[in-house]
Structure 1
Amino acid sequence: MKAIVYSTPGDSSVLSLVNRDVPEPVAGEVRVRLAVSGVNPTDWKARASVGRPLVADEVTPNQDGAGTVDAVGDGVDGLTVGDRVWIFLAAHERPTGTAAEYAVIPAARAVRLADDASFELGASLGVPAMTAHRALTVHEFGPSRLSPGALDGRTVLVQGGAGAVGHAAIQLAVWAGATVIATVSSDEKETLARAAGAHHVLRYPDAALADGIREIAPNGVEHIVEVAIAQNAGLDVEVAANHASIAYYADNGGDRFTAAVRESFAKNVRWQGLLLYTVGDDALGAAAEDVSAAVADGALPVGEEAGLPLTWFPLADTAAAHDAVEAGAIGKVLVRIDAS
């Protein structure tokens, strides 16, 4: 099989296309013939982590993907040969990512994909959709699971509504019944956030941004999905409702943040950091189930008309795909894999 591998951390030039034997699953694993691999910022960051030991002498990158199960190890229930699946965290603490024609992964990380859902949609889920799910389910008095009606009567603020996580957060929140406010930085991104389903889209930077949010949500915002906490912590506290959750999942704009102490505790604000890789199996399982339900309901479409433009690369150009994500490509970067 063809696979992208690297044996030392570094820039994208360490990635190479090689031929390897098709792997065999052991107990608890499945082998997936991949159709599409999804690229996330964590993929290039993991590859570039100089000074951090690799999990194996040779690593295939990329956490997310979609394809068809073509072999099943002992003890696997719920998946059979021929099942269409979407994959998450394929390369977490393992060397077998999705930038290959075949990948062997734990069965728990392969989730049935609705029959009418495309592989490109499946490969766009994983890290973005599951992160968004977690961000929307950490409120002290909010739902721990998402479904239609779960967020009825609540207002969600998605900071950075045109990113992959922001896009998924908008879609999931709308599916669950919330009123969604998204913030964006350009006309192009405003168009994408509206296409994703945001009810209100506001622009930043804007000194009157807090006023605009409070005009929409005079009693404050219950859930905040935050991509740039270092820049937005003050604004988040200002517009937060009593007992609001501020779920931050990235360090865009800085690696430290400060917030007004009195205003924060007076509103009983919950500062909730989240990282999918360490969130735990229960949260991952809940997210996988709820995201799959949203996909089955048609609530998570991709493509420019749905607010998430897709940029494609062939498997041999996975390095260029990593570079595109590192450079801040808008939408989702995907690698097309043609298994032989």
Structure 2
Amino acid sequence: MKAIVYEETGASSVLQLQDRATRDPGPGEVRVRLAVSGVNPTDWKSRAGSGQGSTKLKTPKVPNQDGAGIVDAVGPGVTGFSAGDRVWLWDVAWGSDEGTAQEYAVVPSVKVVALPDDESFDTGASLGIPALTAHRALTSSEHGPDRLSPGSLTGQTVLVTGGAGAVSHAAIQLARWAGATVITTVSDDRKDGLARLAGAHRVLNYRTEDVVAAVNAAVPEGVDTIVDVNAPANLESDVEILKPGGTIAIYAANPGESVTVPVRESMGKNIRYQFILTYTVTDGQKQHAVESVSEALAAGALRVGEEHGLPLTRFPLAETASAHDAVEQGTIGKVLIDVAPLT
């Protein structure tokens, strides 16, 4: 089979297309024939390493956490899946050398989720990290809920910063599905249009509008939860527009980046700061997220593509390095890799 492999960390040039043997699934494992692999910022950051030069890996590694395809074989003890089932995958490369940038991936069955017959592989490969991160952000308040469902956020207002990103897109869609009023911020007119297509009730251009004044006028009591992609830049205004007892969920950072917390102001509002790395949330939190995302997907609440506010940029498997570069350079929307054509 064809696979993208890297044997040392470094620039995207370390990614090489190779022929590899196809492995049979062991106990509790499923082998999936990949149609599409999704690329996330953590994929290129893991491949790049520390930035202090190349580091030779103990064993070769296939990149990328997310993907979608068809079950090819199941190992002993696996129930609920059979050959031919359409599925989406999450956290494939976390703690493993097996990523989704290859024609076949053998993964633990817990990381394999049914994909509805009427849903595209593109959508399946776009879930994973973005949707599971968004779910944790939206459920990080001490006031609950622990699991999103229709109506679970009714009466709440959520602010999503950077509304045209993959996690932000998922947060907007999940929050709306759960009944919240959603406000989002963007930096230009194109992103404004994308955030509206995703379902945001109100979109603010932070370059031309006073976000604090606009939010305080619309929601005098303050927003319940803020899903923040750039806390170092936004924290001061976040504190001003958050309601007492509200939560600021922070899920993104650059290496070495830090944030200054206004302590007294945060104390006065009893603010909760929730830092999120989806890989290391508890098993229970991850299971709630997978279940809720699956339910929202089945309800048609999670959609991708330009018409739904998340443009797709595609690369063939052999150009995975270019796909990683596109994500690193901030391509708007979702970057996908076409691994192999499947019906």
Q: Which amino acid aligns with 1:11?
A: A
Aligned counterpart, 2:207: 205
1:36 corresponds to: 36
Pairing 1:298-309 to 2, within 5 Å after superposition: 298-309=300-311
Mapped partners of 2:31, 2:143: distance in 1: 40
Structure 2 unaligned residues grouped into runs of 5+: none
Write out per-residue CA displacement over residues 83-105 of structure 1, whole angstroms, 9 at most, x where no aligned residue.
11100010001011000000001
1:65 counterpart SS class: strand
Matching residue within 64, 67, 80 for 1:65: 67
What is the aligned partner in structure 2 of residue 134 from structure 1?
136
Specify the alignment match of 2:24 in structure 1.
24
Question: Aligned with 2:60: secondary structure?
Answer: coil
- For the 8 Å contact 2:8–2:57, the answer to whether it is kept is no
Matched with 1:9 is 9
CA contact (8 A) 2:6 2:60 kept: yes
C-alpha separation in 2, matches of 1:36 and 1:268: 44
Contact 1:237 1:259 in 2 (8 A): no
1:65-110 deviation per Cα after TM superposition (whole angstroms, max 9, x unaligned): 0001111111112222211110001000101100000000111111
Match of 1:329 among 303, 324, 331: 331
| Aligned pair partner of 1:151 in 138, 150, 153 | 153
Give 1:254 shift.
Answer: 7.5
Match of 1:311 in 2: 313
Within a 5 Å distance, the mapping from 1:95-244 to structure 2 comes to: 95-206=97-208, 208-244=210-246
The alignment of Structure 1 onto Structure 2 pairs a total of residues equal to: 340
Change (3 A) 1:66 1:230: same
Q: Which runs of 5+ in 1 are unaligned?
A: none
One-letter code aligned to 1:140:
E
User: Is 1:49 equivalent to 2:49 in the alignment?
Assistant: yes
Structure 2 CA distance for aligned equivalents of residues 63 and 313 of structure 1:
16
What is the CA distance between 1:238 and its match in structure 2? 0.3
Give the SS at the match of 2:62. Answer: coil
Call closer, same or farther: CA 1:323–1:68 in 2, change over 3 Å. Answer: same
Shift of 1:125: 0.2
- Aligned pairs for 1:247-262 within 5 A: 247-251=249-253, 255-262=257-264
CA distance in 1, matches of 2:79, 2:116: 18
Q: How far is the alpha carbon of 1:339 from its aligned partner? A: 6.1
Give secondary structure in 1 for the equivalent of 2:286: helix
TM-score by length of 2: 0.96
SS in 2 for 1:263: helix
RMSD of aligned Cα (Å): 1.6
Opposite residue 236 of structure 1, the aligned amino acid is: D
* Amino acid paired to 1:60: V
Is residue 176–residue 182 contact of structure 2 (8 Å, CA) maintained in 1?
yes
Question: How much has 1:135 moved relative to structure 2?
Answer: 0.1
CA distance in 2, matches of 1:166, 1:108: 25
CA distance in 2, matches of 1:333, 1:233: 28
What TM-score, normalized by structure 1, do the two folds share?
A: 0.97
Contact conserved, 1:101 with 1:339, CA < 8 A, in 2?
no
